[in-house]
């Protein structure tokens, strides 16, 4: 560990452990990105989280909170400090009568599900899997598929965040409502969510049924019951077969009935499909045949010929098998635009450019299936709407997800050509990308798509983290942060002056990790490593920090340094109680390690 960090760690709350390791290799679930954080920290208490934040502030490090790493983009990559709350995952309070539950934010959905079941409770809605942390699910706007539900986070009643100044703040619809709306989709950029209070409901079972249908019959039923006849509905579209698997589920009192095992749910089918996808990376033109074979074996070769049914507890029955590593590119658009979106994309993939009206060639392109078609309706939401909610504010939302598998972690050759056209179509239809997934939208586009809501989110973010401790390249690329401009032409040095802790990407390269396939290693700027070049200046600042933490006043010499250095009295005091009412602004610049000026280290 950097001796300067070690020195600080022993000074701040010496009785509180700092559980950090320095050899952690982080990767996303899909192994699309790898990164090697300087420190990987696994706190077990609020005091440990506060010590970590204080230490990061003193040592001028960026902090990234990672849940289960299921977001496939570089959102959670860092060469700085990575925090994981897997050891901060207790259920703190459950009221079986009201269904109100308070948890530590690191708990995974499946562990929460198991604990709630002991009290006769469950979550009302789930997405495809339950491996994610609850805080991660909230932070990116994870959704399931039901017009009777909005985002999974609509069950959240209040959140407690640890801010960059070490202050704990609780927010809800009535306390700090702007912070609440910002934190409901925070992109990890506001602080560390440490506690969550949510509304659960009594456990229920779902009876589900799925069958294969012609795409035309699905589109014909679009406005006449496809999405409204059942509580949960999702559609898997097979573009070359021009058919779709329609799955629907409702609450039931029927006895449990386990689902039948299907082709790729068994070991043989799983590996056969995986190897066919791997072969298709070399011979993409076999993909329509793979679609016919695998989905025929799985769901029947003819429409309506095979029906699969089961009755399961909701916490397992709403999930599905996501199979292999994948790229996912998912967008939210008004539900009524669904038939047009699907008809045009289908035409483009099947060689009918006149109907497609997509200005890119699909020559030689073959893609994977299924394209996931799901819905939600956040207008029914009783909690305040997150500022960055991608769903339609005026009615039901359709989610279209262009999944591409990465067999044996190898990228499919169609990715760039497919996603360029898919994203173009989504933009043409006024759609907004799912924050967790692989999209290429620029900050200017996103600013336009969110308008005043984005401005509000940015304002709250800036208030709670003015130095950019929770920001990285993903945020820089995607958001119009202070010092950036929406025309993408900002000189980077302005951003770094405005947000001195923001971590920029230095480079990305093919991961030099055994078995990483085509995964990329993300490398951040590691600016603190060049501090030695500052020599005396850094030493003087470190000495000043020691003096400040010992209660001494800062010398006149220190005040003259170029890096802002606060009076000892202006350092933010550690807060011990959760603030219900408001949050203080930070004492920025409280540093024991000085970062070099931006221009001296950045490689443009
Ligand atoms: C196989 C698979 C299936 C999926 N299914 C669905 C689906 O059905 N519906 C859907 O909408 N999405 C789905 N996703 C996307 C997934 O739900 C999101 O990526 C979610 O954010 C992952 O949660 P996580 O715990 O892995 O968070 P991570 O990916 O680790 O982090 C996501 C964001 O949350 C932030 N964060 C995490 N913990 C905290 C904290 N304590 N405080 C502050 N910020 C925090 C991180 O900094 C980051 O910005 C799926 C992804 C995969 C890989």
Mean pLDDT of the 97-112 span: 98
CATH of the domain at 534: 3.30.43.10
**Looking at the predicted structure, is the pLDDT value of residue 562 above 60?**
no
Please tell me the distance between residue 30's alpha carbon and the centre of ligand 1 in angstroms.
12
In a shared domain, residues 451 and 367: no
In a shared domain, residues 338 and 392: yes
Among 456, 485, 513, the domain-final residue is 456
CATH of the domain at 448: 3.30.465.10
Strand (E) or helix (H) holding 477? helix 473-478
In a shared domain, residues 223 and 254: yes
Q: Using 50, 70 and 90 to split pLDDT, how confident is the model at 385? A: very high
In a shared domain, residues 271 and 414: yes
pLDDT of residue 529: 86
129 lines ligand 1 (CB under 6 A): yes
Q: Using 50, 70 and 90 to split pLDDT, how confident is the model at 581? A: very low
Closest by CA to 584, choosing from 207, 165, 189, is 165
Distance CA 423, CA 402 (A): 10
Encode pLDDT of 34-72 as tens digits.
999 999 999 999 999 999 999 999 999 999 999 999 999
In a shared domain, residues 199 and 98: yes
pLDDT of residue 540: 43
Q: Using 50, 70 and 90 to split pLDDT, how confident is the model at 444? A: very high
Among 386, 416, 440, the domain-final residue is 440
Please tell me the distance between residue 572's alpha carbon and the centre of ligand 1 in angstroms.
31
132 lines ligand 1 (CB under 6 A): yes
Residue written as token pair 């600080």: 8
In a shared domain, residues 395 and 352: yes
Closest by CA to 183, choosing from 199, 174, 172, 197, is 172
- In this structure, the residue with its CA closest to atom 51 of ligand 1 is 70
Encode pLDDT of 118-162 as tens digits.
999 999 999 999 999 999 999 999 999 999 999 999 999 999 999
- In this structure, the residue with its CA closest to atom 48 of ligand 1 is 188
Mean pLDDT of the 92-113 span: 98
32, 68, 72, 142: residue to mutate for ligand 1 pocket, most atoms within 8 A of CB: 142
Residues 24, 513 contacting (CB under 8 angstroms): no
In a shared domain, residues 415 and 482: no
In a shared domain, residues 432 and 548: no
pLDDT of residue 492: 67
Q: Is residue 279 part of a domain?
A: yes
Look at 337 and 582; give whichever has higher pLDDT.
Answer: 337
Q: Give the 3-state secondary structure percentages of the chain, helix then strand then coil, rounded to 5.
A: 35, 20, 45
Q: Is residue 36 part of a domain?
A: yes
- In this structure, the residue with its CA closest to atom 41 of ligand 1 is 193
pLDDT of residue 484: 85
Q: Is residue 465 part of a domain?
A: no
Burial of 259 (C-beta count, 10 Å sphere; 0-12/13-18/19+): middle
What is the residue range of 194's domain? Answer: 91-203+444-456
In a shared domain, residues 545 and 429: no
Residue 237 three-state SS: strand
pLDDT of residue 528: 87
Please list, in sequence order, all residues whose beta carbon lies within 8 angstroms of the beta carbon of residue 164, skipping any fewer than 6 positions away: 53, 57, 191, 464, 465, 466, 467, 469, 470, 586
Encode pLDDT of 474-487 as tens digits.
999 999 999 887 76
Residue 234 three-state SS: strand
59 lines ligand 1 (CB under 6 A): no
320 lines ligand 1 (CB under 6 A): no
CATH of the domain at 423: 3.40.462.10
Q: Is residue 464 part of a domain?
A: no
Beta strand 397-405 pairing with 326-334: antiparallel
**Looking at the predicted structure, is the pLDDT value of residue 424 above 80?**
yes
Domain count, the chain: 3
Pair of tokens at residue 113: 């599900």
Q: Is residue 468 part of a domain?
A: no
Give bridge partners of residue 521 from the DSSP assignment.
34, 509
**Looking at the predicted structure, is the pLDDT value of residue 110 above 50?**
yes
Distance CA 385, CA 182 (A): 9
41, 64, 66: residue to mutate for ligand 1 pocket, most atoms within 8 A of CB: 66
pLDDT of residue 258: 96
234 lines ligand 1 (CB under 6 A): no
Q: Is residue 103 part of a domain?
A: yes
Distance CA 384, CA 361 (A): 42
133 lines ligand 1 (CB under 6 A): yes
User: Per DSSP, which regions of 173-272 are E strands?
Assistant: 192-199, 201-202, 205-214, 232-238, 243-252
- Residue 389 sits at the vertex; the CA angle it makes with 140 and 133, to the nearest 5 degrees, is 25
Position in ligand 1 atom list of the atom nearest CA 193: 42
Please tell me the distance between residue 72's alpha carbon and the centre of ligand 1 in angstroms.
9
Please tell me the distance between residue 131's alpha carbon and the centre of ligand 1 in angstroms.
9
In a shared domain, residues 78 and 121: no
pLDDT of residue 574: 38
Encode pLDDT of 216-261 as tens digits.
999 999 999 999 999 999 999 999 999 999 999 999 999 999 999 8
392 lines ligand 1 (CB under 6 A): no
**Looking at the predicted structure, is the pLDDT value of residue 571 above 50?**
no
**Looking at the predicted structure, is the pLDDT value of residue 429 above 80?**
yes
Average pLDDT, the chain: 89
Please tell me the distance between residue 428's alpha carbon and the centre of ligand 1 in angstroms.
27
In a shared domain, residues 134 and 174: yes
Residue 252 three-state SS: strand
Closest by CA to 62, choosing from 48, 81, 76, 46, is 81
142 lines ligand 1 (CB under 6 A): yes
Please tell me the distance between residue 76's alpha carbon and the centre of ligand 1 in angstroms.
10
Q: Is residue 310 part of a domain?
A: yes
Among 405, 425, 456, the domain-final residue is 456
CB atoms inside a 10 Å sphere around CB 557: 9
Q: Is residue 471 part of a domain?
A: no
pLDDT of residue 322: 94
In a shared domain, residues 238 and 359: yes
Distance CA 122, CA 240 (A): 38
Report in angstroms the alpha-carbon separations of 87 from 84, 101, 104, 150, 289.
Answer: 8, 19, 9, 29, 46
Q: Using 50, 70 and 90 to split pLDDT, how confident is the model at 531? A: low
Closest by CA to 341, choosing from 297, 375, 389, 292, is 375
Position in ligand 1 atom list of the atom nearest CA 190: 43
Q: What are phi and psi of 333, to 5 degrees?
A: -145, 160
Pair of tokens at residue 431: 């759609």
Write down the pTM of the prediction. 0.90
**Looking at the predicted structure, is the pLDDT value of residue 285 above 90?**
yes
């Amino acid at each position: 560990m950097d001796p300067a960090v070690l020195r600080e760690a022993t000074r701040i709350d010496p009785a509180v452990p700092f559980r950090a390791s320095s050899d952690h290799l982080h990767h996303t679930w899909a192994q699309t990105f790898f990164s090697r954080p300087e420190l990987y920290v696994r706190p077990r208490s609020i005091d440990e989280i506060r010590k970590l934040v204080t230490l990061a502030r003193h040592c001028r490090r960026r902090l990234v909170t990672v849940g289960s790493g299921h977001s496939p983009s570089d959102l959670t990559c860092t060469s700085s400090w990575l925090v994981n709350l897997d050891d901060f995952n207790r259920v703190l309070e459950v009221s079986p009568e009201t269904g109100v539950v308070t948890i530590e934010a690191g708990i995974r959905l499946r562990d929460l599900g198991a604990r709630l079941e002991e009290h006769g409770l469950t979550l009302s809605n789930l997405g495809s899997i339950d491996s994610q942390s609850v805080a991660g699910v909230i932070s990116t706007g994870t959704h399931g598929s039901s017009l009777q539900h909005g985002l999974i986070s609509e069950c959240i009643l209040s959140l407690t965040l640890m801010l960059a100044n070490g202050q704990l703040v609780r927010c809800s619809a009535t306390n700090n409502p702007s912070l609440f709306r910002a934190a409901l989709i925070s992109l990890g950029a506001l602080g560390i969510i440490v506690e969550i209070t949510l509304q659960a409901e009594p456990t229920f079972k779902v009876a589900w049924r799925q069958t294969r249908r012609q795409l035309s019959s699905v589109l014909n039923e679009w406005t006449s019951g496809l999405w409204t006849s059942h509580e949960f509905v999702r559609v898997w579209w097979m573009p070359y077969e021009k058919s779709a698997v329609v799955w629907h589920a409702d609450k039931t009192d029927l006895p449990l009935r386990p689902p039948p095992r299907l082709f790729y749910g068994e070991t043989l089918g799983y590996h056969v499909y995986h190897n066919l996808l791997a072969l298709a990376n070399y011979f993409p033109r076999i993909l329509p045949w793979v679609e016919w074979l695998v989905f025929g074996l799985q769901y029947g070769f003819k429409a309506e010929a095979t029906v699969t049914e089961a009755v399961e507890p909701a916490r397992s029955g709403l999930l599905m098998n996501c199979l292999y590593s994948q790229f996912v590119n998912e967008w939210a658009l008004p539900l009524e635009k669904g038939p047009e979106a699907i008809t045009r994309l289908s035409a483009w993939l099947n060689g009918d450019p006149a109907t497609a009206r997509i200005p890119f060639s699909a020559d030689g392109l073959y893609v994977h299936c299924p394209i996931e078609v799901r819905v939600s309706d956040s207008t029914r939401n009783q909690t305040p709407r997150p500022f960055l909610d991608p769903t339609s504010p005026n009615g039901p939302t359709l989610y279209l997800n262009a999944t591409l598998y990465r067999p044996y972690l190898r990228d499919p050759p169609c990715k760039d050509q497919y996603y360029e056209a898919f994203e173009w179509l989504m933009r043409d239809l006024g759609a907004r990308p799912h924050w967790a997934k692989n999209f290429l939208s620029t900050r200017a586009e996103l600013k336009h798509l969110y308008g005043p809501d984005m401005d509000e989110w940015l304002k709250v973010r800036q208030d709670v983290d003015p130095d950019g401790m929770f920001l990285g390249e993903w945020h820089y690329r995607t958001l119009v942060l202070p010092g950036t401009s929406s025309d993408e032409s900002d000189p980077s040095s302005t951003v770094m002056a405005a947000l001195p802790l923001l971590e920029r990407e230095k480079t990305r390269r093919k991961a030099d990790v055994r078995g990483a396939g085509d995964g990329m290693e993300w490398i951040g700027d590691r600016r603190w490593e060049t501090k030695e070049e500052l020599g005396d200046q850094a030493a003087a600042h470190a000495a000043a920090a020691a003096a400040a933490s010992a209660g001494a006043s800062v010398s006149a010499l220190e005040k003259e340094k170029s890096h802002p250095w606060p009076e000892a009295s202006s350092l933010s005091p550690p807060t011990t109680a959760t603030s219900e009412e408001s949050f203080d602004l930070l004492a920025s610049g409280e540093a024991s390690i000085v970062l070099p000026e931006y221009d001296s280290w950045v490689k443009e």
